[in-house]
Chain A
Amino acid sequence: MRPAAILQRSLLLVALSVYTAFAAGPFVWAAMMSLRTTSEISRNHFALPSPAHWEKFPQAWFNSNYSVYFSNSLIIVVTAVVILTLIGSMAAHCFARYRFRLNRVLYFVIFSTLIFPPQITIISLFQILVQYGLYNSKLGLTMVYVAIQLPLTIYILESFFARIPSDLFDAARMDGFSDWEIFWRVSFPIALPAIATTVILNFILLWNEFLYAVVLITDEANRTLPLGIQRFMGDQLEDIGMIATGLMIAIVPVIVVYAFFSEKLIQGMTAGAVK
């Protein structure tokens, strides 16, 4: 290898290493802390986890109510993502495919809700949920999650559906399929890469969502994971070790969802879905 090439290669490696340390450093640190006790951590913040306290995981799961938070999160987020995917893709298909009066107006109104910060709506949302008896319930939070993520979902999917050539719909119509069947058997499968993107995005955003959850849920039995982790942050004492363990538990489903759907995502991309 020529010296210039070696220099180029090593510069690249240095830059990449710095970026990796910057991006992954906090994660690795939290992972190490999840295997250490709080007293060990206060003695030395950055030491390696030896001995590794694996027992902290079952402890967090069973004694600190993480099993409840985890299943609450799973129920609420999975339900919200399923509903979002169904409604979002159908709405996006309609906006992209059908010409009807006020199509663009409706699209703009839905899309424009993205510009409002959540703080603006949260007080009125709280009031509405209280009035309808949905405050402090999984159903209430699920509905709110669907509502806040729907505009972005429609926005991402609409642009993808709009790129599907209309000849395909015409061909399916000639082949004898109804509009409903065309959506399920042509549009939806072709749009899978885009749908996978919205699934990942919605899942991660909602899984980590804190603001709406902390305002709308106070009942211990309905808390989601981010709220559960927050419980270890007391006024006097912060159980840093337990917080780290909780974070590691919380992160598992995100990785699983990402791994599964990103595979689908890449598959779809390389298959040249539309062209």
Chain B
Amino acid sequence: MKKLAIIPAYNEERIIVSVIDEIKGFDESIDILIINDASTDRTGQVAAACGRAIVINLPCNLGIGGAVQTGFKYAARYGYDIAFQYDGDGQHIASEISKLVRPLELHEAEVVIGSRFCTSHNGFKSTLVRRIGIKIFKIVNSLLVRQWICDNTSGFRAYNKRAIQFLSSNYPGDYPEPEAVILLGRNGFRMVEVFTEMRERPEGYSSITAFKAVYYMIKVLLAIFMCALRPKIVKE
């Protein structure tokens, strides 16, 4: 099965090569696609120079959603069977990819979400605001897709061919993760959540600072409800 790692990167020049090396060290057969979202540092050059990744340099900053969607478009065009989203800041652990990909290989699911807190066992710490936000998403999303999804904000996800095809033309823009859960759930994609270990962010900051948290919550909740009210895109 052809596998692609989609890595959106914005100003990650210091860590991007070690992220690439970690994935290649785990599985040489995985193709790595770096989407350099108009970084102001040398992320694109550094990633291209190591010669182990495909690099797409976007001419202007699209935000995480637009960058990841570029990856889905690439995966759809080049016929990948599995694509997974992987953060460019080094918070994901390459050896956890196998957990993420296994349900797809066994055809148990079409979308796999790598969750930081699926079980009680976890090393995840976060701020109070983020924890509250995550809880709200958990309740709202679980009601709307009628499936218990614990970690709606995780960016560690894997998709099969049908999901890749779908997302390449339908993917939300800013803060896309919680909305994507609804979009996929409402369109009849089978989702599972697996527990995956994650690191504390070794470098860079979360895309969500406390200051933006309220705006983020309102925007995403509005997007989620609108998404739930829209008719299905996939015809069965």
Query: Do A and B belong to a common assembly?
Result: no
Chain A interface residues (CB < 8 Å from chain B): none
Chain B interface residues (CB < 8 Å from chain A): none
